[in-house]
Structure 1
């Protein structure tokens, strides 16, 4: 499944934000910050990664609906499996 660059820009932005958040979590642990602060930041990273994954799957679904007859390699079952790996 190839997803358009236009669809991937918001995903890349989310992943870069998550990358920064993860770096912050690592720094927090290294500097001995409170567990509550670390876990809160880690939850934000997790949510950002989940949203990026869902956006990729949603873009794939949309593309398959539009291009489905041209590219039958990705089935509905394949998309469901991708979606469920994020759940």
Structure 2
């Protein structure tokens, strides 16, 4: 199944938090493992995310890098999952 969401991750990295949030929210996404341990893997991935950091989330071709941005997007895109409180103080 092809999804509008593609999640780029590397095992044993901070991308685990965003991966869990996507699963908890019930998002349909295509996981894509990034192999940053080879020069070819890094070069290929930099075409997707020029910063070269994982995780990254592609939403219809728009790339959102960094955990905080991805976690915020997931919480707002899937409000029924209640991953983030509505109150800003409670969110903090």
TM, length-normalised to structure 2: 0.31
Choose between structure 1 and 2 for higher RCO, CA contacts under 8 A separated by at least 6 residues: 1
Which structure has the bigger radius of gyration? 1
